[in-house]
Chain A
Amino acid sequence: MTRPSVIERRRFLAGTGAAAAALAAPGLVRAQGAPIKVGEINSYSTAPAFTLPYRNGIALAVEQVNAGGGLIGRPLEFVHRDDAGRPEDAVRHAGELINNERVDLLAGTYLSNIGLAVSDFARQNRRLFVASEPLTDAIVWAQGHRYTYRLRPSTYMQAAMLAEEAARLPAKRWASVSPNYEYGQSAVRWFKALLQARKPDVEFVAEQWPALGRIDAGATVQALAAANPEAIFNVTFGADLTNFVRQGNTRGLFERRSVVSVLTGEPEYLDPLGEETPEGWIVTGYPWDQVNTPEHTRFRDAYRQKFNDHPRLGSVVGYDTVNAIAAAIRRAGAVDNEKLVDAFAGLTFQSPFGGVEFRAIDHQATLGCYVGKLAVRNRRGVMTDWRYADGKNYLPPDAEVRRLRPQG
């Protein structure tokens, strides 16, 4: 949990209201031209558990890019801003990054609402925005537009991966527990629709909608148990998830019941569960310790060497954000905004997870994730029986995408 030393421009206040003295950051490579600047906005102060590994991933990739001589002869530089979990602050930072820092493109965001706010800013100001982490489907579909591309597998994709697994289970009576906001609502909606499309006789007998971060875990578990479902679809995460799991374990909610759960296999959520990890849950996630493909091993070793810590999913997302941007700049051969936007359409690049493409049709990357089962080994939660679910296989047919995304 050491804080990352990130290459960024830092300002220190000389006093309240006084002019801030700017300290130039040490560039790793004395490159030929002025640096290519990426303005990156994320919830560093409100969601540090997710954003700090992510920023490490960025730092690692930027270092590698610059060590290799930069891009089109220029070094790459990221300028980070903390949105404090507030979309309105993110929009302000976006303006500042473009007008004052003169960044060439925008990237980042973790929360869906902030991703959407910056995306809307990007549309309004005709600037490329590479949305790295937000999951909402709206960012590429209902609210999609020319200037925004999204990297991480979306709510729909995760729900589709799990619906596929859920359809193989014998369970017919399902219940869901989900944080009551857009992400939770969409995840449940897609999961229901996709599961019932595969198995029409499935019914949903109970829904619990705890407020995000405020779950009353004992009462929620009890209410689910009262409906006596055969299987449960879980969308809670973070502190809500841990509390839910603890109460569920003690009260035996998960015994003789299947549980299908979004994101729970990601180290960000799995690590805190430790020995209380519920065994047998079917989850999406990232078994960082077991993926031994050459590209992932290379990434994991480099990450460990630089930060003395294991990568989280956020680390991969941060790392890939840089890789995608680098690939686009190489493809465009310039940092001209419109050319870069065009370069992203159909762009392919190599992720630690394998080859990824930014689809021209809806600007969604085909980055996938791992689907497997949870188990406890050495008092730690791990994923077993996992497989890589390539994102390209979990997106709706093109005709459906065209209906979901405003064309033109």
Chain B
Amino acid sequence: MVVNSLVIQLLNGLASASALFLVASGLSIIFGVTRIVNFAHGSFYMLGAYVAFSITRALPVEAFDVLGELGPHVRFWGGIATAALVVGLVGIAIEIAVLRRIYHAPELFQLLATFGIVLIVQDATLAIWGPENLVGPRAPGLRGAVYILDQRFPQYELLLIAIGPAMLGLLWLLFHRTRWGTLVRAATLDREMVAALGVDQRKLFTGVFLLGAALAGLGGALQLPRETLNLQMDLSIIADVFVVTVVGGMGSVVGAYLAALLIAELQALMLLAPPFTIAGIEIAFAKLTLIPSFLVMAAVLIVRPYGLLGRPQAAARVAGAAEPVLRLATPELTRIGLAALAALALLPLAFGDYTVAVATEIAIFVLFTASLHFIMGPGGMASFGHAAYFGLGAYACGLAVKYWAAPMGVGLAFAPVLAGLGGLLFGWFTVRLSGVYLAMLTLAFAQIVWSIVFQSDALTGGDNGIRGVWPDEWARDKAVYYALAVALCIAGTLLLRRIIYAPFGYALRAGRDSPLRAEAIGIDVRRVQWIAFAVSALFAGIAGGLFAYLKGSVFPTYVSIPKSVDALVRVLLGGVQTVSGPIVGAIVFTGLEEQLARATEYWRAVLGVVIILLVLAFPEGLAGFAQRRWERWRGGGE
């Protein structure tokens, strides 16, 4: 009996692995060639499911009657294939309309653009298909189950189990037996070389996007008989798909299959494990469903920094211009900055409580953004999980209130400590990687923190969070708290700025510019990056603590992926390579969000469009753009 259950559960894992693989392979192929981390890949998956739903419903049954018994099959599978194709075409449209224009922008900007696409697709899906969950039709002839080891097993799941390896085989043939496939493989290894051979890169990229998007669309469409269609499908799969792609090795299709298998099997088998007790703590694997995949990813990346079958990325030789020289602000600019600060200080005198509260929030996000910028800009380490440290800071305050009934001062002191310790711990692993892998490991750590916080009801209050985290009596007044928050945030931001211009910041930048040279003049690059990571986490923690007392409560949403993405968006909007970038980015993005959320029903789509337009118009960020215009106007600079 136990053995039977085990075998069936293994089969369940295989079925889930196929679905994951289809989506992940598309992402992997797109990344391999274009180097784009496509956040919108989950959106392709969701679109695939919805489009297949509409097609299979719209095709009239009678039209297929001429085919006799085959009719329903052709209708269903034709619908699935058409949906995949439609999504592929959507992928092409996006590639041509948006991504093609920014291939020469820094890599992360493309990520930002795909994030804008996620927002637009979400609202478009809501507008077209409505808010209610949709249940798709079952596959004709595969509605029932077969008996395996005396247990009923759905026929459709068996088909899925077969589709995964079949698709893997087809992709292998495509990449090894066709000229186009060979070019794609070559481009994955070295895209400049392929360009030098006279291959039209644009066509290649467009083709790759078609393939990748269609695979995701197919993955979504195949879910029609087993998954309920809902508007959260995109984001709920994207994290898993990132994990699979990274564990397998970005760009490796076989790796993606192995990783999908590994993770899906682990998740399926875990559900069978009975709860057990270690050192008085009950551990129920069935309750920890969110954590294992990220633990696997962290473990794999620590042992194999490029995933199971991945290769170190050939550094792109023409990846845009070199980073610009950071120079100290001119006296004029310093004066403008001081004037802006003075204006901020007077804000509460002129406006009501709400404006002051929003301004407080903006100030907090300025510090949070500056902390992320510190490792992203000078450090060259893009963190996709910076909310972890913001959240740790907030939870430090929440826990201090919950368990010690501590005053605000204690909470605010504890916040950077906990966040900094988190940064030290996670950073130690993180700085051993680079590029996308590093980013994904930060994401994994953030998800681990989120899962722990979200699912440990007893310690953290779970999703209901910790409430009653209000400031001490003296700081209850909105204006007073504003003054406190602004003072701390500005001090923190200026301190980070100071560090960037100090020898430590220079050492950090040296490690980013040329690790080879940095090591050759005695700089321990990893150590510098590690400490920078922890410092950045520490400042993010301060921001998180201030945020907790502003909102009066702490929730898992503070640690969630959207919080991390928002921070990333703020940094990129402002500009990575200017020191004032994070300030501009935080103010613009937070202000925009606040206005949009109140103003329109489809605010996400509007925000997405705005993000894409900003990316297209200002590929160096708003502050970067302003700086260049300023320099041109002043006639200085090179």
Residues of A within 8 A of B (CB): 1, 3, 10-13, 16-17, 20, 44-46, 48-49, 52, 81-82, 84-89, 91-93, 95-96, 98-100, 112-113, 116-117, 119-121, 124, 136, 138, 143, 180-182, 185, 207-211, 213-214, 216-220, 222-223, 225-226, 238-239, 242-243, 246-247, 250-252, 268, 271-274, 276
Bound complex: CA A113 to CA B228 (Å): 25
Interface contact A251-B151, CB-CB below 8 Å: yes
Interface contact A45-B603, CB-CB below 8 Å: yes
What is the CB-to-nearest-CB distance from A25 to chain B, in angstroms, rounded to a whole number? 14
What is the CB-to-nearest-CB distance from B465 to chain A, in angstroms, rounded to a whole number? 6
What is the CB-to-nearest-CB distance from B43 to chain A, in angstroms, rounded to a whole number? 16
Bound complex: CA A268 to CA B130 (Å): 13
Interface contact B226-A217, CB-CB below 8 Å: yes
Interface centre among B145, B461, B462, B591 (most CB of A within 10 A): B462
Interface contact B353-A99, CB-CB below 8 Å: yes
Interface contact B465-A226, CB-CB below 8 Å: no
Chain A residue at minimal CB-CB distance from B154: A250
Binds A, one of B296-304, B487-495, B593-601: B593-601
28 cross-chain CB contacts under 8 A = A11-B595, A11-B598, A13-B600, A13-B606, A17-B591, A20-B595, A20-B599, A87-B553, A87-B557, A91-B552, A99-B354, A117-B551, A124-B470, A180-B287, A180-B289, A180-B455, A181-B463, A185-B457, A219-B271, A222-B271, A222-B272, A242-B135, A243-B226, A246-B135, A251-B151, A251-B154, A272-B133, A273-B135
Q: Which of B274-330 contact A (CB under 8 A)?
A: 275, 284, 286-287, 289-290
Q: Which of B582-606 contact A (CB under 8 A)?
A: 588, 591-592, 594-601, 603-604, 606
Given contacts A13-B595, A274-B135, contact A112 B354 (CB under 8 A): no
Count how many pairs of residues, one from A and one from B, have CB atoms less than 8 Å apart in the complex. Answer: 230
Contacts of B462 on A, CB cut-off 8 Å?
181-182, 185
Contacts of A95 on B, CB cut-off 8 Å?
353-354, 357
Given contacts A113-B464, A252-B145, contact A11 B599 (CB under 8 A): yes
Residue in A13, A48, A117 whose CB lies within 8 Å of B596: A13
Residues of B within 8 A of A (CB): 1-2, 5, 8-9, 12-13, 15-16, 126, 130-135, 143-145, 151-154, 156-157, 225-232, 236, 267-268, 271-272, 275, 284, 286-287, 289-290, 352-355, 357-358, 361, 454-455, 457, 461-465, 467-468, 470, 547, 551-553, 555, 557-558, 562, 588, 591-592, 594-601, 603-604, 606, 610
Bound complex: CA A299 to CA B240 (Å): 45
Interface contact B12-A17, CB-CB below 8 Å: no
Interface contact B557-A88, CB-CB below 8 Å: yes
Contacts of B553 on A, CB cut-off 8 Å?
87-88, 91, 116-117, 120
Contacts of B135 on A, CB cut-off 8 Å?
242, 246, 272-274, 276
Bound complex: CA A100 to CA B478 (Å): 14
Chain A residue at minimal CB-CB distance from B229: A239
Interface contact A88-B592, CB-CB below 8 Å: no
Interface contact A120-B153, CB-CB below 8 Å: no
Contacts of A48 on B, CB cut-off 8 Å?
126, 131, 231
Bound complex: CA A281 to CA B357 (Å): 49
Contacts of B595 on A, CB cut-off 8 Å?
11, 13, 17, 20
Bound complex: CA A206 to CA B626 (Å): 61
Interface contact B133-A239, CB-CB below 8 Å: yes
Contacts of A113 on B, CB cut-off 8 Å?
463-465, 555
Chain A residue at minimal CB-CB distance from B144: A250
Contacts of A274 on B, CB cut-off 8 Å?
135
Interface contact A112-B463, CB-CB below 8 Å: yes
Bound complex: CA A171 to CA B620 (Å): 66
Bound complex: CA A246 to CA B152 (Å): 13
Contacts of B157 on A, CB cut-off 8 Å?
218
Chain B residue at minimal CB-CB distance from A1: B130
